[in-house]
Structure 1
Amino acid sequence: MSTLVKNIVRFILLILFQVYVLDKIHLHQMVTPYIYMLFIIWMPFKLSRGWQMILAFVLGFTLDSFRHNPGFHASACVLIAYFRPFFINILIPQEGADANYEEPSVKSMGGFLPYMIYAGMLTLIHHGWLFMLEAWQIGNVWYFIIKTLTSTAISLLLIIITELLFSRKQQFRTNTV
């Protein structure tokens, strides 16, 4: 399957799963699981930062249109798309896996821990920004911190489950013909 078709299918499935399954789950108003931003986490290495931010905006705007929010998710998605290359550059093995693999994964990032740091930091930034925008203030700091941390933990658990269920087989590409 081509990269374009694969990413279009991912986009549609992640949005539909978020809207019709995860948006129905609210545990004591403290946990709101989000997995749709996995589309941004799994974007190809070779995609330019401009295209990453445009696609992130489209992803967030699509979810906002289902939820009737005025750009909250679009803003959070663009923010993590902006920070994504920084985390990849910091966490990627020195041998340059971005040149040898197509997209971030446990294998391409050199193990489970670097991949979870990468996904965890982007998820934490996404949730923190989103919940701050929803409240328009941090008013009750403990509520904000607890909601951000618990939602991040549940979202990361869903990301791990998704990684285990939908194994993305990536082959190591070499420069030889």
Structure 2
Amino acid sequence: MKHIAHFFLFVALQILLMDSLVLYSTGFCFIYVAFLLFLPLGISRVWLLVLGFIVGFTVDIFYDTMGIHAAASVLLAFLRPLVLNLLTPRDGYDSGDAVNIHTMGWRWFLAYTFTLVIVHHTAVFFLETISFQTALYTMVKILLSTLFTALVMVILQLLFFSSKRERMDYR
């Protein structure tokens, strides 16, 4: 139930607030990706891909972007397990652990967030332009948007996510 609430909250924030909150016409905050990033670590890959498509397609419907966000979200969902494997702590993960800055630590959380957000934003902006003629401007948009989105995610984690170890049993 908590994850369903997160879905509606992040999509609503994206559509109602973040759509009009743009830094210098180049920095966009795609907060809806937090739904995918904050899911439990033990979620199955198939569910992750399905949820990636659903959240991206939902944003596409409201932004009228013809599948750009769905494609970028599915890419993020596909790469998330690979990034988690690269960032596995020495003791490993518990299958019920959720992504939490308090539990995983600052370095882990920032590496995880920046890696996946930059991949997502690169896909969104290059699919949007489908041209390398404006590559420098697109790279600036990717960088500013990644910083903006990651900063908002850190703030969300610090304000709304518990410092207690979150565990979910999926049986």
TM-score, normalised on structure 2?
Answer: 0.92
Give, in whole Å, the separation in 2 of the partners of 1:55 and 1:68. 19
Cα pair 2:14 2:32 within 8 Å, conserved: yes
Q: Does 1:62 align with 2:58?
A: yes
Which residue of 106, 111, 122 maps to 2:101? 106
Q: Which runs of 4+ in 1 moved over 6 A?
A: none
Report the CA distance between 1:170 and its aligned residue: 4.2
Cα pair 2:18 2:29 within 8 Å, conserved: yes
Match for residue 144 of structure 1?
138
Match for residue 35 of structure 2?
39
Unaligned runs of 5+ in 2: none
Cα pair 1:80 1:122 within 8 Å, conserved: yes
Give, in whole Å, the separation in 2 of the partners of 1:98 and 1:115. 16
Match for residue 135 of structure 1?
129
- Matched residues, percent identical? 33
Q: CA RMSD in A?
A: 1.5
Cα pair 1:97 1:108 within 8 Å, conserved: no
Query: Which structure has the higher relative contact order (CA within 8 Å, separation 6+)?
Result: 2
Match for residue 52 of structure 1?
48
Match for residue 166 of structure 1?
160
Report the CA distance between 1:172 and its aligned residue: 7.3
Unaligned runs of 5+ in 1: none
Match for residue 6 of structure 1?
2
Match for residue 23 of structure 1?
19
Report the CA distance between 1:126 and its aligned residue: 0.5
Match for residue 124 of structure 1?
118
Match for residue 68 of structure 2?
72
TM-score, normalised on structure 1?
Answer: 0.89
